[in-house]
Chains A and B, each alone.
Chain A
Amino acid sequence: NAGVTQTPKFQVLKTGQSMTLQCAQDMNHEYMSWYRQDPGMGLRLIHYSVGAGITDQGEVPNGYNVSRSTTEDFPLRLLSAAPSQTSVYFCASSTPGQGRAGYTFGSGTRLTVV
Protein backbone atom coordinates (compact mmCIF):
# COMPACT_ATOMS: atom_id res chain seq x y z
CA ASN A 1 0.00 0.00 0.00
CA ALA A 2 1.94 3.01 -1.26
CA GLY A 3 -0.35 5.79 0.04
CA VAL A 4 0.31 9.08 -1.78
CA THR A 5 3.11 9.05 -4.34
CA GLN A 6 4.61 12.24 -5.76
CA THR A 7 7.00 12.48 -8.68
CA PRO A 8 9.53 13.84 -9.28
CA LYS A 9 11.13 14.41 -5.88
CA PHE A 10 13.37 17.20 -7.19
CA GLN A 11 13.13 19.45 -10.24
CA VAL A 12 14.95 22.48 -11.58
CA LEU A 13 13.19 24.58 -14.21
CA LYS A 14 14.12 27.64 -16.17
CA THR A 15 11.82 30.63 -16.08
CA GLY A 16 9.05 30.19 -18.63
CA GLN A 17 9.27 26.42 -18.85
CA SER A 18 6.25 24.25 -18.18
CA MET A 19 6.00 21.02 -16.27
CA THR A 20 3.59 18.71 -14.51
CA LEU A 21 3.96 17.49 -10.95
CA GLN A 22 2.42 14.06 -10.58
CA CYS A 23 0.38 12.81 -7.63
CA ALA A 24 -1.19 9.37 -7.30
CA GLN A 25 -2.98 7.68 -4.41
CA ASP A 26 -4.07 4.07 -4.04
CA MET A 27 -6.46 4.45 -1.11
CA ASN A 28 -9.57 5.23 -3.17
CA HIS A 29 -9.79 8.63 -1.49
CA GLU A 30 -12.32 11.03 -2.98
CA TYR A 31 -10.57 14.21 -1.96
CA MET A 32 -7.16 15.32 -3.23
CA SER A 33 -5.35 18.59 -2.83
CA TRP A 34 -2.10 20.40 -3.59
CA TYR A 35 -0.20 22.58 -1.13
CA ARG A 36 2.96 24.61 -1.41
CA GLN A 37 5.34 25.34 1.43
CA ASP A 38 7.82 28.19 1.39
CA PRO A 39 10.71 28.47 3.88
CA GLY A 40 9.54 29.13 7.43
CA MET A 41 5.91 29.03 6.40
CA GLY A 42 3.02 26.68 6.89
CA LEU A 43 1.40 24.93 3.95
CA ARG A 44 -0.87 26.93 1.65
CA LEU A 45 -3.61 25.34 -0.43
CA ILE A 46 -3.27 25.70 -4.21
CA HIS A 47 -6.08 23.60 -5.68
CA TYR A 48 -8.27 20.77 -4.52
CA SER A 49 -10.65 18.19 -5.93
CA VAL A 50 -13.65 16.51 -4.30
CA GLY A 51 -13.90 13.81 -6.95
CA ALA A 52 -13.12 12.87 -10.53
CA GLY A 53 -14.02 15.73 -12.85
CA ILE A 54 -14.40 18.29 -10.04
CA THR A 55 -11.72 20.80 -9.06
CA ASP A 56 -11.65 24.12 -7.27
CA GLN A 57 -9.21 26.84 -6.29
CA GLY A 58 -7.54 27.18 -2.94
CA GLU A 59 -5.70 30.10 -1.36
CA VAL A 60 -2.91 30.53 -3.95
CA PRO A 61 -4.12 29.16 -7.34
CA ASN A 62 -2.51 31.65 -9.73
CA GLY A 63 0.00 30.12 -12.13
CA TYR A 64 -1.22 26.57 -11.59
CA ASN A 65 -3.73 24.32 -13.34
CA VAL A 66 -5.18 21.01 -12.25
CA SER A 67 -7.44 18.31 -13.60
CA ARG A 68 -8.90 15.13 -12.12
CA SER A 69 -9.75 12.56 -14.75
CA THR A 70 -9.47 9.57 -12.41
CA THR A 71 -9.90 9.01 -8.68
CA GLU A 72 -6.25 8.01 -8.35
CA ASP A 73 -4.44 10.87 -10.07
CA PHE A 74 -4.32 14.62 -9.50
CA PRO A 75 -1.55 16.31 -11.53
CA LEU A 76 -0.49 19.92 -10.97
CA ARG A 77 0.61 21.88 -14.03
CA LEU A 78 2.86 24.91 -14.11
CA LEU A 79 2.22 26.55 -17.49
CA SER A 80 5.04 29.12 -17.39
CA ALA A 81 7.30 28.72 -14.38
CA ALA A 82 8.39 31.78 -12.43
CA PRO A 83 11.01 32.12 -9.68
CA SER A 84 8.19 32.87 -7.23
CA GLN A 85 7.03 29.29 -7.73
CA THR A 86 10.22 27.94 -6.18
CA SER A 87 8.82 25.93 -3.29
CA VAL A 88 8.14 22.48 -1.90
CA TYR A 89 4.89 21.04 -3.18
CA PHE A 90 2.84 18.51 -1.25
CA CYS A 91 -0.07 16.47 -2.49
CA ALA A 92 -2.62 15.10 -0.02
CA SER A 93 -5.67 12.87 -0.15
CA SER A 94 -8.54 12.31 2.24
CA THR A 95 -11.97 10.81 2.70
CA PRO A 96 -15.23 12.56 3.55
CA GLY A 97 -16.25 13.02 7.16
CA GLN A 98 -14.37 11.81 10.18
CA GLY A 99 -11.46 9.53 9.80
CA ARG A 100 -8.27 8.57 11.51
CA ALA A 101 -6.00 9.97 8.86
CA GLY A 102 -8.05 12.94 7.79
CA TYR A 103 -5.38 13.73 5.26
CA THR A 104 -2.49 11.60 4.01
CA PHE A 105 0.40 13.56 2.53
CA GLY A 106 3.00 12.64 -0.03
CA SER A 107 6.71 13.17 0.55
CA GLY A 108 6.86 16.31 -1.55
CA THR A 109 8.41 17.69 -4.75
CA ARG A 110 11.16 20.26 -4.33
CA LEU A 111 10.98 22.69 -7.23
CA THR A 112 13.53 25.36 -8.06
CA VAL A 113 12.86 27.88 -10.82
CA VAL A 114 15.93 29.77 -12.03
Chain B
Amino acid sequence: DAKTTQPPSMDCAEGRAANLPCNHSTISGNEYVYWYRQIHSQGPQYIIHGLKNNETNEMASLIITEDRKSSTLILPHATLRDTAVYYCIVRVVGSGYSTLTFGKGTMLLVSP
Protein backbone atom coordinates (compact mmCIF):
# COMPACT_ATOMS: atom_id res chain seq x y z
CA ASP B 1 0.00 0.00 0.00
CA ALA B 2 1.15 3.54 -0.74
CA LYS B 3 2.56 5.63 2.07
CA THR B 4 0.78 8.74 3.28
CA THR B 5 2.01 11.95 4.85
CA GLN B 6 -0.05 13.89 7.37
CA PRO B 7 0.77 16.80 9.68
CA PRO B 8 1.30 15.54 13.24
CA SER B 9 -1.19 17.94 14.79
CA MET B 10 -3.82 20.56 14.00
CA ASP B 11 -6.05 22.86 15.98
CA CYS B 12 -9.61 23.90 15.21
CA ALA B 13 -12.15 26.12 16.96
CA GLU B 14 -15.46 24.54 17.85
CA GLY B 15 -18.08 25.17 15.17
CA ARG B 16 -15.54 25.89 12.46
CA ALA B 17 -14.61 23.56 9.62
CA ALA B 18 -11.65 21.29 10.18
CA ASN B 19 -9.65 20.56 7.03
CA LEU B 20 -7.20 17.69 7.42
CA PRO B 21 -4.72 17.23 4.56
CA CYS B 22 -3.06 14.03 3.38
CA ASN B 23 -0.41 13.49 0.73
CA HIS B 24 -0.28 10.16 -1.09
CA SER B 25 1.85 10.95 -4.11
CA THR B 26 2.64 7.30 -4.93
CA ILE B 27 -0.95 6.11 -4.93
CA SER B 28 -1.82 3.49 -7.54
CA GLY B 29 -4.85 3.47 -9.76
CA ASN B 30 -6.57 0.69 -7.79
CA GLU B 31 -5.95 2.18 -4.36
CA TYR B 32 -8.71 3.90 -2.45
CA VAL B 33 -8.23 6.65 0.13
CA TYR B 34 -9.69 5.76 3.52
CA TRP B 35 -10.02 7.92 6.60
CA TYR B 36 -10.34 6.56 10.11
CA ARG B 37 -10.24 8.30 13.44
CA GLN B 38 -9.34 7.14 16.92
CA ILE B 39 -10.79 8.87 19.91
CA HIS B 40 -8.64 8.47 22.99
CA SER B 41 -8.46 4.86 24.22
CA GLN B 42 -11.05 3.61 21.72
CA GLY B 43 -10.74 1.46 18.61
CA PRO B 44 -10.39 3.22 15.26
CA GLN B 45 -13.64 4.28 13.62
CA TYR B 46 -14.28 4.38 9.90
CA ILE B 47 -15.15 7.84 8.56
CA ILE B 48 -15.20 7.83 4.77
CA HIS B 49 -13.45 6.49 1.70
CA GLY B 50 -13.16 7.34 -1.98
CA LEU B 51 -11.39 6.50 -5.23
CA LYS B 52 -11.32 9.68 -7.31
CA ASN B 53 -14.61 11.47 -6.88
CA ASN B 54 -15.41 13.68 -3.94
CA GLU B 55 -17.48 11.92 -1.32
CA THR B 56 -19.77 13.09 1.45
CA ASN B 57 -21.56 11.28 4.23
CA GLU B 58 -23.12 12.17 7.55
CA MET B 59 -19.74 12.49 9.22
CA ALA B 60 -17.50 14.27 6.74
CA SER B 61 -16.54 15.17 3.19
CA LEU B 62 -13.56 13.84 1.28
CA ILE B 63 -11.96 15.93 -1.44
CA ILE B 64 -9.47 14.11 -3.69
CA THR B 65 -7.35 16.10 -6.14
CA GLU B 66 -7.66 15.33 -9.82
CA ASP B 67 -4.22 13.71 -9.93
CA ARG B 68 -5.15 11.73 -6.78
CA LYS B 69 -1.84 12.62 -5.12
CA SER B 70 -3.49 14.31 -2.17
CA SER B 71 -6.79 14.56 -0.36
CA THR B 72 -8.51 16.58 2.35
CA LEU B 73 -10.92 15.38 4.98
CA ILE B 74 -13.41 18.06 5.95
CA LEU B 75 -15.40 18.08 9.17
CA PRO B 76 -17.83 20.90 8.38
CA HIS B 77 -18.72 21.97 11.93
CA ALA B 78 -16.18 20.54 14.34
CA THR B 79 -17.30 19.75 17.89
CA LEU B 80 -15.29 18.94 21.00
CA ARG B 81 -16.14 15.27 20.43
CA ASP B 82 -14.22 15.39 17.14
CA THR B 83 -10.95 15.68 19.06
CA ALA B 84 -9.11 12.54 17.95
CA VAL B 85 -6.24 11.16 15.89
CA TYR B 86 -7.19 11.03 12.22
CA TYR B 87 -5.57 8.46 9.96
CA CYS B 88 -5.38 8.70 6.18
CA ILE B 89 -4.79 5.28 4.62
CA VAL B 90 -4.53 4.15 1.02
CA ARG B 91 -5.57 0.61 0.34
CA VAL B 92 -6.17 -1.69 -2.58
CA VAL B 93 -9.80 -2.76 -2.66
CA GLY B 94 -10.66 -5.75 -4.80
CA SER B 95 -11.67 -9.35 -4.53
CA GLY B 96 -8.87 -10.33 -2.19
CA TYR B 97 -7.72 -9.34 1.24
CA SER B 98 -5.78 -6.13 1.75
CA THR B 99 -4.42 -4.78 4.98
CA LEU B 100 -4.83 -1.41 6.64
CA THR B 101 -1.43 0.15 7.25
CA PHE B 102 -1.60 2.89 9.85
CA GLY B 103 0.83 5.79 10.09
CA LYS B 104 0.95 8.17 13.05
CA GLY B 105 -1.98 10.25 11.81
CA THR B 106 -2.95 13.82 12.68
CA MET B 107 -3.96 14.73 16.21
CA LEU B 108 -6.88 17.16 15.84
CA LEU B 109 -7.62 19.26 18.90
CA VAL B 110 -10.97 21.05 18.84
CA SER B 111 -11.15 23.86 21.36
CA PRO B 112 -14.09 25.89 22.70
The reply to whether A102 and B99 form a contact with Cβ atoms under 8 Å apart is no
| Cross-chain contact of B95 among A31, A88, A96 (Cβ < 8 A) | A96
Query: Within A88-105, which residues are at the interface with B (CB < 8 Å)?
Result: 88, 90, 92, 96-98, 100-105
The reply to whether A45 and B101 form a contact with Cβ atoms under 8 Å apart is yes
Cβ contacts under 8 Å, B91 to chain A: 102
CB < 8 Å A-B pair total: 58
Complexed CA–CA distance, A102 and B31 (Å):
13
With A97-B95, A98-B93 in contact, is A42–B43 under 8 Å at CB? no
The reply to whether B101 and A102 form a contact with Cβ atoms under 8 Å apart is no
For A4, the closest partner residue in chain B by CB is B43
Complexed CA–CA distance, A102 and B94 (Å):
12
Complexed CA–CA distance, A44 and B44 (Å):
13
Query: Within A77-114, which residues are at the interface with B (CB < 8 Å)?
Result: 88, 90, 92, 96-98, 100-108
For B93, the closest partner residue in chain A by CB is A98
Cβ contacts under 8 Å, B36 to chain A: 103
The reply to whether B100 and A103 form a contact with Cβ atoms under 8 Å apart is yes
| Cross-chain contact of A106 among B41, B43, B97 (Cβ < 8 A) | B43
Which of B32, B44, B91, B104 has its CB near the most chain A CB atoms (within 10 A)? B44
Which B residues are closer than 8 A to A by beta carbons?
A: 32, 34, 36, 41-46, 49, 87, 91, 93-97, 99-105
